[in-house]
Amino acid sequence: MVNLDGMLMIGSAGANVGKTELACAILRKFSESAEEIVGIKVTTIDEKDGQCPRGGEGCGVCSSLEGVYLIAQETDPASGKDTSRLLAAGASRVYWLRVLRMHIQDGLTALLEILGPDTISICESNSLRQVVEPGLFFVAEREGAKSWKPSALEVKKYADGIVVSDGSSFNIDIDRIKLDNGKWLLLPDYT
């Protein structure tokens, strides 16, 4: 397990739960006061068999992976993709790690070679939580959700908080999140 106190990780219980919006809200709060916050999105792929893990035809991301991982840097803050939304919200740089589940440690090692272990970051991933001990780990859940995807259930026990979202607002006070000497912290809720 790699200890990365400077990483705030956000997982998701399912699709379209507001995970990226939560990451963007935190970025907007801290991007002006922190010297640099890097955005990271991790897509974990079970197999390169052309089958979309979400069903249907898919977008080709999983089937187009040529090695065991691929790291791409987002440079367009206006494309509307999740990675560009992170850039537009104030991330200094944004990386998208696509990695085979069996090689997530290899993908992390390569990413850390680019970033360095002391980089302050906000990362969207469930699966990376199995090899990283971040400063903070939240799992975003849609209000009224009845089930969780398997990758979220695997890491739910590690969550510092379950953040319930209606898609645009959250049940967490963002002001409770602090960045102190490169480490993410969650202050107690005194209300």
Spatial CA neighbour of 40 closest among 80, 1, 83: 83
For the segment 67-88, what is each residue's pLDDT rounded down to a tens digit? 999 999 999 999 999 999 999 9
Q: Are strands 161-165 and 38-45 parallel, antiparallel or unpaired?
A: unpaired
Spatial CA neighbour of 183 closest among 121, 92, 132: 121
Q: How is residue 145 written in tokens?
A: 């959700």
For the segment 16-68, what is each residue's pLDDT rounded down to a tens digit? 899 999 999 999 999 888 779 999 999 999 876 655 555 555 565 665 688 99
Residue 98: band (very low, low, confident or very high) from pLDDT cuts 50, 70, 90: very high
For the segment 108-135, what is each residue's pLDDT rounded down to a tens digit? 999 999 999 899 999 999 999 999 999 9
pLDDT for res 46: 85
3-class secondary structure, 53: coil
pLDDT for res 33: 83
Q: How is residue 74 written in tokens?
A: 């987002």
pLDDT for res 189: 82
